[in-house]
Structure 1
Amino acid sequence: MDWLERAATLRQWTSKGVRAPHKPLLLLYALGRYQQDADQELAYSAVEEDLKRLLAEYGPGNRSTPAYPFHHLVNDGVWEVRTSRGAGSPGSGVRDLRASGAAGRLAPDLRAALRRDPALLGRMARTLLDLHFPPSLHSELCEAAGLELEYAETQPLVPGGRRRSQMLREEVLTAYEYRCAFCGYDGRIGAIPVGLEAAHVHWWALGGPDEVENALCLCSLHHKLFDKGVLGVDEEFRVMVAQRFVGHSAAAREQVVALAGRPLLGPQPGTPELGAIHRSWHAEQVFHGPSRPAVAV
């Protein structure tokens, strides 16, 4: 049985292109807990808050419940659920899962495969990360899920046979004249730019193209906040800052809150601008709106 293929082809709810990482997040969490205690069952009532936090941090902006993947992941052959009445999930309702004492864990065949080949766990986790989340979030997502991956296990895979462009970073940094499109940061050591990255707007992991029209030159801080949904870009190509963001320090106000309503910088004339379709995808799928009002200057 090809467990990597199972991980790569989880059946997910889809509606109008809305991303639904519920099952991948639960499976990452389950792999992390297996790594800590291979024989432990995960009682729904005990892990519900952990799963809620994962969905709030790494899921879409709309509210969702961990009861959905806890029940439905069984259908993918990687997860099992038992209740006080025996094997089988009582349904996807929160009350049903709590009242029945539902507990889940990795499917028996998968647990056996992991015992035979411990490195399989890292490969499965890497597959889930590469297929559903941008690289800027991988390390902290592993920490949030309780996963410890060896260096060799964290090397990028090639989801669906696609290969990342090796030239995109240089093309994007050149288009934006080596400065962050949000704050203007343009640090260098000698002739080498430092702390500047090419940020996919429509995530590459979810089908976004490796094109300048789908990327922004961002400093490391604003790239991370952009991928987390703290920052976004509105229809007039001005920076959006989520109202949910809280920062009381002068640094947080100056580096994040003060960006609200600020126009994007660049790209230089003659190079492709950010595509409206990619901007819209990020605003709908990643940004944790509503946005703060523009800061008065």
Structure 2
Amino acid sequence: MDWLERTAELRQWTRGGARAPHKPLLLLYALGRFQRDTDGELRYSTVEDDLKRLLDEYGPPHRTTPAYPFHHLVSDGVWEVRTDRGPGSPGSGVRELRSLGATGRLAPELRAALRREPSLLGRMARLLLDLHFPPSLHAELCGSVGLEPGPTEPERLTTVVRRRRDPRMRERVLTAYAYRCAFCGYDGRIGTLPVGLEAAHVRWWAFGGPDDVDNGLCLCSLHHTLFDRGVLGIGDRHRILVSPRFAGRSPAAREHVTALAGRPLIGPRPDARPVAAVHRSWHTGQVFRGGPCPAAAP
């Protein structure tokens, strides 16, 4: 059985590019727990808060329940659920999962394959990360689920991930924005080499975002992470949005985040294409956390 193919083909609700990372997040969490205890089960009532936190931090902006993936991941052949009544999930209702003592864990065949081939776990984790989340969040997400995926050879995944990133995108985007962060204007270099500047996808590559300049922003490392976490966004007339859910009391938080609200993007150059409306709309609906903050006082 090809577990990488099965991982890549998790059945998910989808419509118009909407994000639904519920199953990938549960599977990453289960892989992390498997690393620490290969025979352990996950009791729903015990892990519910952990899964809620993951969905809140890394899922789409709208509210959802961890009961959905806990039940539905069974249909993908990588997960099993038992209750006090025996094998089988009682459904996707929170009350049933709690009252019947539902527990879940990786399917027996998958657990056996992971024991035979320990490197499989890292390849599965890397595949889930690449297919559902931007690179800026990978290390943080692994830490959140207690996962140590280890090194993975990219060529081992090319037969499953048939789309390849364009390595030229970074240079094209940084050039279009004159090597300055589009949010804060940072333009650090060591000699002639830019440092701390990255090419961010507005519509994530994992969700069909093209490697084109009009789907890119040159951002410093801080603002790239905040953009991918939904703290920052792009509104009408290419003005910066700041999530009302962001909280920071320090002068640095105000200067580097809150004060950005309402400011126009810096760049791109006149001969480069600005961020396309279709990509801005996707980010606002699928990543940005809530409505915009009021513009900072001048």
| TM-score tier (shorter) | over 0.9
Post-superposition offset of 1:167 = 1.0
| C-alpha separation in 1, matches of 2:59 and 2:222 | 20
The equivalent residue for 1:71 is: 71
Post-superposition offset of 1:153 = 6.2
Post-superposition offset of 1:291 = 1.6
| C-alpha separation in 1, matches of 2:290 and 2:267 | 24
Q: Is the 8 A contact 1:44 1:98 kept in 2?
A: yes
| C-alpha separation in 1, matches of 2:152 and 2:97 | 38
Classify the secondary structure of the residue corresponding to 2:237.
Answer: coil
TM-score by length of 1: 0.98
The equivalent residue for 1:266 is: 267
Post-superposition offset of 1:156 = 9.2
Q: Residues 243-269 of structure 1: CA distance to partner in whole angstroms, max 9, x if unpaired?
A: 000000010000000000010011111
**Runs of 5+ in structure 1 lacking a partner?**
none
The equivalent residue for 2:114 is: 114
Q: State the one-letter code of the partner of 2:2.
A: D
Q: Is the 8 A contact 1:130 1:156 kept in 2?
A: no
| C-alpha separation in 2, matches of 1:15 and 1:207 | 13
Classify the secondary structure of the residue corresponding to 2:236.
Answer: coil
Q: Is the 8 A contact 2:17 2:207 kept in 1?
A: no
Q: Is the 8 A contact 2:126 2:152 kept in 1?
A: no
| C-alpha separation in 1, matches of 2:258 and 2:134 | 24
| C-alpha separation in 1, matches of 2:155 and 2:250 | 36
The equivalent residue for 1:140 is: 140
The equivalent residue for 1:39 is: 39
Does residue 248 (structure 1) correspond to residue 249 (structure 2)? The answer is yes
| C-alpha separation in 2, matches of 1:238 and 1:20 | 27
Post-superposition offset of 1:75 = 0.2
> Kindly, what percent of the aligned residue pairs are identical?
70
Q: Is the 8 A contact 1:26 1:70 kept in 2?
A: yes
Q: CA, structure 1 residues 13+80, in 2 after alignment: closer, same or farther (shift >3 Å)? A: same
Post-superposition offset of 1:17 = 2.9
The equivalent residue for 2:51 is: 51
Q: Is the 8 A contact 1:126 1:156 kept in 2?
A: no
Classify the secondary structure of the residue corresponding to 1:236.
Answer: helix
Q: How many residues align?
A: 297
Q: Residues 16-71 of structure 1: CA distance to partner in whole angstroms, max 9, x if unpaired?
A: 43210000000000000000100100000000000000000000000000000000
Q: CA, structure 1 residues 112+17, in 2 after alignment: closer, same or farther (shift >3 Å)? A: same
| C-alpha separation in 2, matches of 1:190 and 1:238 | 32
Post-superposition offset of 1:154 = 8.1
Q: Is the 8 A contact 1:200 1:208 kept in 2?
A: yes
* Structure 1 runs of 4+ with >3 Å offset: 152-160
Larger deviation: 145-154 or 227-236? 145-154
Q: Is the 8 A contact 2:182 2:218 kept in 1?
A: yes
| C-alpha separation in 1, matches of 2:228 and 2:156 | 18
